[in-house]
Amino acid sequence: MTSAAGGKWADLAPRLATSAVLIAVGVVAIYLGGAWFAALVALSIGLIAWELSRMAQSPRAVPVGVLSGLCCLGMLWLPDGWGLPLVLVPVLASQPTLRRAHLAHAVFLSLATLAGYGLVDLRGAASPGWLVWLVLIVAATDIFGYFAGRLLGGPKFWPRISPKKTWSGTVAGWIGALAVGAVVWAQGAAGPEIMAVSVAVSMASQLGDIAQSALKRHVGVKDSSNLLPGHGGVFDRFDGVLGAAVFLLLVEQIIDFPPVPA
C-alpha cells in the first residue's frame, strides 16, 4: 500500500523543486520586462524548437533552435507587421533536415513563435499583473488537475492520447482557473466576465498539453527532453502556456483585452 502511494506521488518532489525555480525566474523576468523578458521568451522558444527538431530526428536540431530564438527576438523588436515573415523562416529552413513529423513540426514551431510574440506583447501592452494572471491560470489548471486526478481518479479524459488525464482533473483545472478569475474580479481589476475568460484560457492550456501529448505519442517519445527534472523538457512544461498565449492572441481580436475594470 505504501509502495503504491509512493509511486502515485513519486514525481511530486522534483516537480515542485523545478516549478519553484521556474516560477522565481519567470516572475523576476516579468517584472523586469523589456529586454530581460524578451530574452527569456526567445531562449524558451529556441529550446522548444530544439526539442521539436530532436523529436523530428533532425541532425541539425541545435542550429534550428538557435535560428528560432534569433527569429523570435527579431520579431519582438521589429515594428508591428515587419517581423511576421520571421515566424516561418525557422520552419522553412528546418523542413529539409527533418526525417519525420514534418507537418507537426511546422505547425508546433509556428505556433510556439507566435505564442512567444503574444507573451511579450501582453507584457508590453498591459501591467505585469496580467501576465502573472495568465501564468497563474496555467499553474492553477496544472496543480488542481494534478491533485484531483490522483486523489479522485475516475474516467479517463482521452486515454489513447494522454493515459494519465482524467475528467476529474480536467474539471478541477477549470475550477482552479475560475477561482483565479474570481480573485481578479474581486480586486476590481476587471468585470465578472474575467471568470469566463479565465476558464476559456484554462481550456486552451489543456488543449496545448493534449496536442503536445499527441505529438509525443506520434513520434514515440515520453518527454520532449530531460532538461527539467520532474517535468521532462521545456516544451513539456510550457505547452499549456503556449496554448493559452495563442488563444489570447485570438481573444484580443474579439473582445477588449486586457479588460477595463467595471
For the chain, the structural domain boundaries read 10-251
Which residue has cell 517581423? 83
The single residue listed with the C-alpha cell 474539471 is 171
Closest to 73 measured CA to CA, from 64, 85, 86, 91 = 86
**pLDDT computed for residue 204 by the predictor:** 96
Cβ-in-10-Å burial (0-12, 13-18, 19+) of 120 comes to: buried
Determine the pLDDT at residue 11. 64
Among residues 74, 48, 71, the alpha carbon closest in space to that of 240 is found at 48
Tell me what pLDDT residue 194 has. 93
pTM: 0.87
Averaged in consecutive runs of 10 residues, what is the pLDDT profile of the chain (262 residues)? 51 74 85 89 95 95 95 86 90 94 94 89 78 91 87 83 85 96 93 94 94 90 85 87 92 80 61
Smallest CA-to-CA distance from 15 within 228, 199, 206 is with 228
For residue 197, what are the CA distances in angstroms to 61, 133, 157, 162, 247?
Answer: 36, 11, 22, 25, 10
Contact between residue 51 and residue 29 where contact means Cβ atoms under 8 Å apart: no
